[in-house]
Structure 1
Amino acid sequence: MTRFGYTLMTEQSGPKQLVDYAQKAENVGFDFEVSSDHYSPWLSAQGHASYAWTMLGAVAQVTSRVELYTYVTCPIIRYHPAVVAQKAATLQILADGRFTLGLGSGENLNEHVVGQGWPSVDKRQDMFEEAVKIIRQLQSGELITWEGEHYRVDSARLWDTPDTPLEIGVAVSGEKSIERFAPLADHMISTEPKPELIEGWDKARHVGTGLAQKSKKIGQIPICWGPDEQAAITLAHEQFRWFAGGWAVNADLPTTAGFAGATQFVRPEDVADTIACGPDLDAIVEKVKPYWEAGYTDIALVQVGDETQERFLAEAAGPLLEKLRAASS
């Protein structure tokens, strides 16, 4: 049965609000919760970018059932992989085994802030592969020294390791990334409802690891529920028009000004074609449907706009979950 999650969007809400939404999302019946991990919002109109790991530590204490994910953390520049390994292990302990570390190769928007530049895509992928391997090794709790092409780890050990082993999800976008990273991960993360991604992952995962069990395939889709359709379209355009650029563009833009310039000609109707907007829950279900048809096992919803969260969780989330579960079963 397909599972449905709620997105803690650090770019559009403050940290206290996110902790409150996380608790309410669990109470209303979501199966899991994912958090973005950004240093900057995509657009200034979003207005937030708190530290995901502090917020998730608090979320782990006010929830008891939902699984938690980073969606996704980049371990190549802003964070050293040895530090990611430590905080992921700590969060897994705080969450009593409910945490999965979602990893990706990052965006210029967040990584350039530490002044180390933004590498070419080939170099980023090389760095990412090495980083995942370091994180995996450190989860053993053993003393690790690593001399790699991109990273050094000098006599490092995680002194607090979880009883439930940490699982890792990796963001992929096509055949090459699947072949390279599926053998290193437990679960697949992606944002496009393409069956070939799922099929390629299962094949690479089986061949690369010799494991017969299937991984989770975790997708994500924005929606903008609201009682007034036109107001919802306006909000989605204001806050989420960056989504129209695609990751080939989004990964390389360095600032909110860059995203504003790149999306200046995106019209509200263009956003409405991509994002289900308004009060029609059946229309939202239709937008989500391609994900479970493609083979995704876990689908996280992003409700656009901080000002809509309280009402969405109180009025729409429960009935929407019922419709999604009925349609996907």
Structure 2
Amino acid sequence: MVRIGYTMMTEQAGPRELVSHVVGAEETGFDFSVISDHSYPWLASQGHAPYAWSILGAAAQATSRIPLMTYVTCPTYRYHPAVVAQKAATVQILSQGRFRLGLGSGENLNEHIVGAGWPAAHVRLEMLEEAVGIIRRMFTGECVSHHGAHFDVENARLWDLPEESPPIGIAVSGPRSCELAGRSADLLIATEPEQEFLQHFDAHGGAGKPRIGQLPVCYDRDRDAAVARAHDQFRWALGGWKVNAELPGPAGFEQASQHTRPEDVAKAIACGDDVEAVVEAVRPYAEAGFTEVALVQIGGDQQEPFLEWAGAELLPALRDL
């Protein structure tokens, strides 16, 4: 059975609301939760970008059962990997072992703010691999010094260690990142139900490890309202990873998606209150071999009705899948 998760979408709600939403997701019966880690929204209409790690600390205290996870943090530009290790270890302690650290090579949208430039994709993957190695060493509790191609660490140590280190997930978008995930991660993260990703992951050490997907939906009893909201706030998602990783700000995503029509969004995202449409959208992940799928409800002010619908109708149908 595929486990179904809930996404705290930091681009579309404020910090207090996000904590309230994940409390509601736990009460509703979602199997796990994830949180995006952004410094900018994709589109100005989304309107938010609070600090994910503060929210995780609050969520760890406000909930008691639901697992937490970054989806995903980039440990190479805004954050130094040694700092990410400290943050992750702290959240793992606060959540009493419910945290997983999802990592990725990042998007220009979020990482440009520190003025370090934005190198080619292969360089970003090299940086990610080096960062993961540093984080794993930090999780052992040893005093770490490291002088590598991209990072320097001098006598760094985690003084507060959880009983179990957070599992590390790596986001994938092609063969090279899948190979890295297979070698270096405890689980795979993806936003597309590509079976080829899982095959590359398995071939390089990922066999038997969890693999997590993510899927946007837009619940509303009024389907036209759902389509309009999805178009207003989520049309950027149709651009694909190669575009989404490179654009530096919401204005770029506005321009890149200016010709995306509401009907285009409606074809790509399940909109309205049709449970079967969401089941069919999740099905490709299940058939590809994903073990978990995190749902994104589009619209920061529409989480409560979504959670009510999910508890009453959607989750029971997805359990059957």
Q: Distance in 2 between matches of 1:236 and 1:272?
A: 8
Question: In the alignment, which residue of structure 2 is the partner of 1:225?
Answer: 219
Matching residue of 1:54: 54
1:93 aligned counterpart, secondary structure: helix
Native 8 Å contact 1:107 1:250 kept in 2: yes
Question: 1:291 corresponds to which residue?
Answer: 285
- Are the aligned partners of 2:28 and 2:311 in contact in 1 as well (CA < 8 Å)? yes
Q: 1:83-112 deviations in whole A, cap 9, x for unaligned?
A: 000000000000100100000000000000
CA shift, 1:197, in A, is: 1.5
* TM superposition shift of 1:306: 1.1
Q: Is 2:318 aligned against 1:324?
A: yes
Q: Provide the C-alpha distance between the structure 1 equivalents of 2:211 and 2:89, rounded to a whole number of angstroms.
A: 22
Alignment of 1:256 with 2:250, yes or no, is yes
Q: Which residue pairs with 2:303 in the alignment?
A: 309
Structure 1 residue runs without a partner (length 5+): 207-212
Contact 1:129/1:181 (8 A) holds in 2: no
1:112-155 C-alpha deviation (Å, 9 max, x unpaired): 00111111112111111111110111000110100101100000
Post-superposition offset of 1:277: 0.2
RMSD: 1.0
**Deviation digits for residues 32-63 of structure 1, max 9, x if unmatched?**
00000000000000000000000011001111
Q: Deviations over 1:194-223 (max 9, x none)?
A: 1121222122115xxxxxx71110000000
Q: Which amino acid aligns with 2:151?
A: Y
Query: Which SS does the other structure have where 1:33 is aligned?
Result: strand
Contact 1:34 1:70 in 2 (8 A): yes
Work out whether residues 181 and 201 of structure 2, in 8 Å CA contact, stay in contact via their aligned partners in 1.
no
Cross-structure match for 2:116: 116
CA distance in 1, matches of 2:8, 2:117: 28
**In structure 2, the residue corresponding to 1:223 is in which secondary structure?**
strand
String of CA shifts for 1:299-323, please: whole Å, max 9, x gaps.
0000000121111112334420100
Contact 1:103 1:168 (8 Å CA) reproduced: yes
Aligned pairs for 1:10-29 (under 5 A) are 10-29=10-29
Contact 2:39 2:51 in 1 (8 A): yes
1:226-241 equivalences in 2 (<5 Å): 226-241=220-235
Partner in structure 2 of residue 96 of structure 1: 96
Q: Is the 8 A contact 2:173 2:241 kept in 1?
A: no
SS at match of 2:188: strand
Q: CA deviation at 1:178?
A: 1.4
